[in-house]
Structure 1
Amino acid sequence: MKKKGEGPSIKYYELSVKEVLHINASLSDKVDVGNAHTLKYKNSQKLSFQGITPGHEDFVLPKTDIEGFPENEREIFFPYLVGDEFLSGKDSERYILDFGKRNIIEAQKYSKAFSYIQDNILPDREKAARDDDGNTRSHHEGFLKKWWQLSYRRDSMQESLNELPQYIACSRVTTRPIFFFVNSKVKPGDALQVFSFSDLYSFGVLQSSAHYNWFHAKCSNMKSDPRYTSQSIFETFPWPQAPTTSQIESIAEAARYLCLLRENYIKEDGSSLRKMYKTLDLPGANPLKEAHKNLDKAVTKAYGFSPTKDILGQLLELNEEVYQKIKNGKDATPPGLPGSYTEEKARRNVEPLGSDIG
């Protein structure tokens, strides 16, 4: 301890030196993907969506309540699940009441369901449309105009999923995106990010470490947890541009093995996706870790990337390359199974979650 009258204390610091190729705007040596281009492919359609926002809790009912509605009205009730139920393995017996795009006269034909909405939801929407001073709240006034309909039905998402036997989804707010197939009979809640693909190749690319790293570099945060957004992540992420048939099928086969591995552990051991993936943070041999490693090898090969170089740097270079192709009117390969692929090996389905729903 320094005594009175003594000179100032001397502190010693040991500095480390690290050679880097560059320093980005955040004063980090990591690849900065902040300026990655949005890739607007020719004639492409939106393929990534946020799930449905009901807007009122009474749009969602337990299955036991649905049984009280007439048989001819049950066509407007749909199985409804959110991310936590898929990942934790919880059973859900909830259904969502969706009049679709029906106008008020068409909706009224479902007399019991319409009366239910009129009694339980209309009063709250009328109240929300005005503040305490009687002034209009424009946001809620819009909901009041179509009070019998869901607040955000995501019409474009539902139309995109109509022709698919299954779709891919993951939780929107997550530190580790875990992708899974969902039966198209199931309506996704807004806690899910939805992708209108039904094939194993697309699943493999989305579940790869290439996409995982891009997600973490580009995601926005909700509180402290990373959040998946279509605009910043999916629409900037470049897909393999010239995968061969063999490479496509290698990804599909690795994806199929991963799906079946997860499915078997869930069925045999009563595990859940969330519990299963927590083991990746532990040391030691792990069949799930090996399955992901094999998938990553197949995806890296399809990209034509070097496994020894930084994955983000290579993706950023590809983003620029694809952007320039699009800008100059040249063909670029959009997300999903390439249109030139005609075989069935990458299209075969695995059993999606919710497949037991009638």
Structure 2
Amino acid sequence: DPTHQVTIYRYLNPRAAVWPEADYIVSNPPFIGTKKVLEMLGCKYVEVLRETYSSLPATIDYVMYWWEKCALLVKSKEVYAFGLITTNSIRQIENRKIIQGHTNSNNLMNLFFAIADHPWVDQGANVRIAMTGLKQGKAEGRAGIIINESKNNNPDENEDDLQIEWKIGKIYDDLKVGIDTTKVIKLSANYGLCSQGCKLVQRRRRKGEDWEQGFLLRAGTAKKYGFGIRTDNIIRPYITGDDITGLFRNSFVIDFHGLTREEAATTHSEAYQRILEQVKPFRDQNNMPRRRDYWWLFGAPAERMRESVQKLSQYIVTSEVAKHRVFVFTDSQTLADGSTFIFAFDDPYFLGVLSSQIHVSWSLTAGGTLEDRPRYNNSVCFDPFPFPDPTDTQKQTIRELGERLDSHRKRVQATHPEVTITGMYNLLEKLRKGEPLNDKDKAFNQKALVSTLKQIHDELDRAVFAAYGWEPTLTDEQILENLVTLNAQRAEEERNGLIRWLRPDYQSPGETYVQPTLEGITTETETAIIPAEQQPFPKTLKEQLSAIRDLFRTQSGEWTAAQVTAHFKGANRKQKVILDCLESLEDLGILLSHAENGVQYWYLPT
């Protein structure tokens, strides 16, 4: 077809461009994300680009080649500083590695300016961009966060009205000032329990085209193909990110996972022919041999996901990209799409913790963004996240609230299928901010029962704060500080052999898990003498450790956990927290301890 012919270029002697000499660089490189680079620049150009810059990951955005080149010029002192306007996905994991390589402690360079997310217009389209500046030397930077943006009503001006909050300090590679969440450590306790869903890899749907094609089926077609009758599990329910946040499509998928081409053709000949006709022609053009040769299988079958949920009755799923971070249960027979992340838990306790303010705040800070929507990533949002160590009573409370949360939303949507999760949480956001509701909001609230949803979330947040032993009045920044400190403590525990497996039967079968004993908190033989002037117990974990350390430095002798607790105002509810602090200080070598008649005593080393 002459209308679909494209020009194919040959690149002779491809090499890195030599830039003219300059003192400063200010640039606006092309906004091309890693997923569109092949489509927009062509396979051959991308191939020689990656060969020329072979030291860089193949999965970075196009603008990061400019960023790397500018940073190398600053490092070699050929350029004093640079400032670039880039895609706001610069904060995503692969792109962030380029920044890390130049701003770590071994390099005398620092980010002196950053805005992580800013509105922009690219070829007439509204997009989101980031601004970064890097220079020689070590100094504090200036990072801006847009806290309000509104359209300018003046027809003579194109700019929006933006309100920017500026923070001064060390700018980390996530382009933020404050708590550094980029240096946390992945915990073995979380390993293998969060993964991305399946990626079908078939022809993209054109605008206005029906989504039912290739592997994807509507409910009626799935029934014709034997869903509900056949026992081979080839036709399965399918859930996407849009199904979670928007209107549920009730879609199904043809899944020949684990079958050879011959087995697929004989097991379900009708489904096989559909894939042969609708998927194979597209896959024949794929550059990856596995996807081209195994065209009847998903492009990314999500082996880890399948294995982790195999013995569960249900599992948790969230949309990779969403305005609101929401977690829901889905049946284990349902396959999750690559636009989601799954969590291999069937216990509502884990849905409760994931849905809490503590984890949502963490994920919004640690994860990246796509345009203006937060993006979840298992390697930074889940793998390093330290779960609480609750009592059985606390765990049961969170479990019941997690079940209530999931059931409430499902009940509302079953009664009113037009109600979406996004709609519910848009209104929940208004209620939390105390904004006035108009008549439309009030009517929606009565239908979607969002006030009840808020009540469940409020109770859940209080329960999860209690499980951590933290005050529910902590700010988001204090939450992050506590989590970073707790992550370091858990990582130290794991180095010493204590791993708090989240699903020990799956992650470490055969290993006996011993819950750390709580010696020294409540025994008949120890007496806690309340001092004349009790000190207030700090809110953040870092301050708590410092306060207990300073107590030992100013007061001689040996102390039990109960005696330390008695020194602080209102700390009776914090006995577990104080014991954790004492054990952490011991792990760090600041304190020593010994047991006598079943009571644990801590003291400063001489």
TM-score grouping bracket, smaller chain normalisation: 0.7 to 0.9
Among 399, 403, 406, the alignment partner of 1:259 is 406
* 1:35 CA drift (Å): 1.0
Mapped partners of 2:223, 2:458: distance in 1: 46
Question: Corresponding residue for 2:462?
Answer: 297
Among 220, 234, 237, the alignment partner of 1:64 is 220
* 1:234 CA drift (Å): 0.5
Mapped partners of 1:340, 1:249: distance in 2: 20
In structure 2, relative to structure 1, the CA distance for the partners of 1:142 and 1:183 (3 Å cut) is same
Question: Corresponding residue for 2:501?
Answer: 334
In structure 2, relative to structure 1, the CA distance for the partners of 1:145 and 1:81 (3 Å cut) is same
Mapped partners of 2:397, 2:504: distance in 1: 13
Alignment of 1:1-358 (within 5 A): 23-26=169-172, 30-41=178-189, 45-56=191-202, 57-69=213-225, 75-92=233-250, 94-110=251-267, 111-126=269-284, 128-129=285-286, 137=287, 139=288, 141-240=289-388, 242-270=389-417, 271-283=419-431, 284=434, 286-309=451-474, 310-329=478-497, 331-335=498-502
Deviates more, 1:316-325 or 1:97-106: 97-106
SS at match of 1:164: coil
Aligned 8 A contact 1:24 1:31 in 2: no
Mapped partners of 1:117, 1:58: distance in 2: 6
SS at match of 2:195: strand
Mapped partners of 1:163, 1:234: distance in 2: 21
Mapped partners of 2:199, 2:176: distance in 1: 38
Aligned 8 A contact 1:238 1:319 in 2: yes
* Superposed CA offset, 1:66-88 (max 9, x none): 34446658631111121222333
Deviates more, 1:281-290 or 1:146-155: 281-290
* 1:226 CA drift (Å): 1.7
Question: Corresponding residue for 1:348?
Answer: none
* 1:59 CA drift (Å): 1.1
* 1:91 CA drift (Å): 3.9
Mapped partners of 2:452, 2:230: distance in 1: 48
Mapped partners of 2:193, 2:408: distance in 1: 27
State the AA in 1 paired with 2:403: R
SS at match of 1:286: helix
Structure number with greater Rg is: 2
Mapped partners of 1:89, 1:36: distance in 2: 36
Q: Which runs of 4+ in 1 moved over 6 A?
A: 337-341
Question: Corresponding residue for 2:58?
Answer: none
Gaps of 5+ in 2: 1-165, 203-212, 435-449, 506-512, 516-606
Aligned 8 A contact 1:80 1:186 in 2: yes
Number of positions where the alignment pairs a residue of Structure 1 with one of Structure 2: 307
Mapped partners of 2:294, 2:311: distance in 1: 27
Mapped partners of 1:314, 1:164: distance in 2: 32
> Alignment identity in percent?
27
* 1:273 CA drift (Å): 2.0
Aligned 8 A contact 1:53 1:151 in 2: yes
Aligned 8 A contact 1:202 1:336 in 2: no
State the AA in 2 paired with 1:109: T
* Superposed CA offset, 1:78-129 (max 9, x none): 111212223334342x221111111223222123322332222222222x14
Gaps of 5+ in 1: 1-17, 130-136, 342-358
* 1:328 CA drift (Å): 2.0
* Superposed CA offset, 1:262-285 (max 9, x none): 234334455332211111221449
Aligned 8 A contact 2:171 2:177 in 1: no
In structure 2, relative to structure 1, the CA distance for the partners of 1:266 and 1:106 (3 Å cut) is closer
State the AA in 1 paired with 2:492: Q
The structure where strand makes up a greater share of residues is: 2
CA-atom RMSD in angstroms: 2.7
Mapped partners of 1:307, 1:23: distance in 2: 27
SS at match of 2:188: coil
In structure 2, relative to structure 1, the CA distance for the partners of 1:336 and 1:69 (3 Å cut) is closer
Mapped partners of 1:83, 1:46: distance in 2: 21
In structure 2, relative to structure 1, the CA distance for the partners of 1:60 and 1:253 (3 Å cut) is same
Mapped partners of 1:63, 1:28: distance in 2: 46
Aligned 8 A contact 2:255 2:298 in 1: yes
